[in-house]
Structure 1
Amino acid sequence: MNETVKKLTLPMTVQLDDMSPEEFITYYKSNQSEIERDLHEVGAVKFQGIQIESMEVFQHIVNSIANKFLAYIDGNSPRTKLSGNVYTSTEYDKTQRITMHNELSYSAKWPAKLFFSCIQPSDTGGETLLADSREILNHMDKALVDEIERKGVIYIRNLHGGRGIGPSWQDTFETESKEQLEAYCEQYDIEHQWKEDGSLRLIQRSKGIIAHRGSGARVWFNQIDQFHPSHLDSEIYEMMQHMYDSTEDFPMFVKFGDGTQITEAMVREILDTTEKLTIAPPWEINELLIVDNELASHGRNSFTGERRVLVSMTE
């Protein structure tokens, strides 16, 4: 069982010698301390040459090398829970590119690690994009960084109760129980307001820039651009302006923690800076990608054909 390691900036790639699932589990456990060290240094490690031929095999591997799994509760990306701890990667329109983000960075509870594997690569595109969150922070406009650190960020989401634009609160929290949802919100200090039509407004406060839980390194950790109205197609934005009294009634909205507005120019700075640091490693079958969710942001390229990428998340 030979291995070849490429010390790339992101991700670090480990080429294995066509390992069975059980061989990889043994290998991982024997080298776990070194793998954790590399993950904290680089932010993402990709293993190539593991026999991952199905969702069941992926789940077996991840269940064997990780614990404290996190359900996709409070998520804002369309995906399907397949079995146990395994979800599909985002099911967002394949013609669209998903911009860079750290998973659930708007929420009070986010995963520490993400485990990805591609069961079916797309015909073209479809890469899981990666960028170093430390480098994003280092290259971001200093005035914007200072403003975020002073004010923090407020995310607003308006979730319908079964009919409407965007996700429902039932799908978002994987429950039909208002009481269970309210208990979750109270546990994690999420402000929530029920509306007469059965929809729900969530107000979540975030720092936007945090210290990595392991190293203490400062990292860019937010989804400002994805929540800002400027990310919408112009026709959709115009339609929603007619539908809603205020941008704060849109399915998603973001502003500074003191209530002041985040401008389109700021969002453009975020997108431009992140784009310069983004890489697009192609997917092949029989790969396992482990991402430190605080050290590395991720996204998805548009694609053609069918694509099936699986993901599990751990605390």
Structure 2
Amino acid sequence: GGETPICSNAEVTKKIDPEIITRFREQGILYMRNLNDKLGLAWQKVFQTNDPKEVENYCTENNMNFEWKSKDNLSIKWKRPALLIHPLTKEELWFNHGFFFNRWALSSSYADAFSSSDLPFNTFYGNGEEIEKNVIENIAAAFENTKSIFKWEKNDVLVLDNMRMAHGRNAFTGSRKILVSMSSAY
């Protein structure tokens, strides 16, 4: 276990139904997170502060809507483009976490325990409408059908263009150490 699945976002983009691409291109994607210490991550950990005003300022500066449901429960929403143009190749790429953070990507027993707005995270079309299950299934199939598996061996180095290549981590048991370094964009 612990392999790194990787796939070309250009290939993923080609495999997603064109009608789905068009809708996301036009509407963007809306991310939602509920931050509390009961389920998922607490807002203090995510924003690395205990000061609600700092969080509110950050959200305002980054065009994020926020709502304090209680002093320890913060709901945030932000809209972003679902596709971006690669600065070097000029390719239009599917570049978002819409599938991975959507309720339909969760186990049904987990997702069904919450309303769409009470999950620790969820994604929506940019206009706030729920993304249909068949759309998430189409996106999931695009990733599944383009992925290859990088099987780590001691002293391996993997260099990826984070915009061109999607990457993840397969489940594993035991310990391992992976060092990550990121640089500024192009």
Q: TM-score, normalised by structure 1?
A: 0.55
Q: How far off is 1:260 after superposition?
A: 2.1
Aligned-residue sequence identity (percent) comes to 30
Matched residue SS, 2:40: coil
**Alignment check: 8 A CA contact 2:33 2:75 kept:** yes
Structure 1 residues 108-136: Cα deviation after superposition (integer angstroms, max 9, x where no partner): xxxxxxxxxxxxxxxxx211111111111
Compare relative contact order (CA 8 Å, sep 6+) and give the higher one, 1 or 2. Answer: 2
Match of 1:152 in 2: 28
Aligned-CA RMSD value: 1.6
Aligned counterparts of 1:222 and 1:137: Cα–Cα separation in 2 = 11
Q: How far off is 1:171 after superposition?
A: 1.1
1:263 is aligned, of 117, 132, 137, to 132
Match of 1:49 in 2: none
Q: How far off is 1:195 after superposition?
A: 2.0
1:286 aligns with 2:161: no
Q: How far off is 1:182 after superposition?
A: 2.2
Structure 1 residues 73-123: Cα deviation after superposition (integer angstroms, max 9, x where no partner): xxxxxxxxxxxxxxxxxxxxxxxxxxxxxxxxxxxxxxxxxxxxxxxxxxx
CA 1:222 to 1:249, structure 2 compared with 1: closer, same or farther past 3 Å? same
Structure 1 residues 220-246: Cα deviation after superposition (integer angstroms, max 9, x where no partner): 1111122211122222223x23xxxx3
Alignment of 1:195-234 (within 5 A): 195-234=69-108
Question: How many residues of Structure 1 are paired with residues of Structure 2 in the alignment?
Answer: 184
Q: TM-score, normalised by structure 2?
A: 0.91
1:312 aligns with 2:181: yes
Structure 1 portions without partners, runs of 5+: 1-124
Q: How far off is 1:288 after superposition?
A: 2.5
Structure 2 letter corresponding to 1:209 = L
**Runs of 4+ residues deviating >4 angstroms:** none
- Bigger strand fraction: 1
Aligned counterparts of 1:153 and 1:208: Cα–Cα separation in 2 = 6
Q: How far off is 1:197 after superposition?
A: 4.0
Q: Which structure is larger by alpha-carbon Rg, 1 or 2?
A: 1
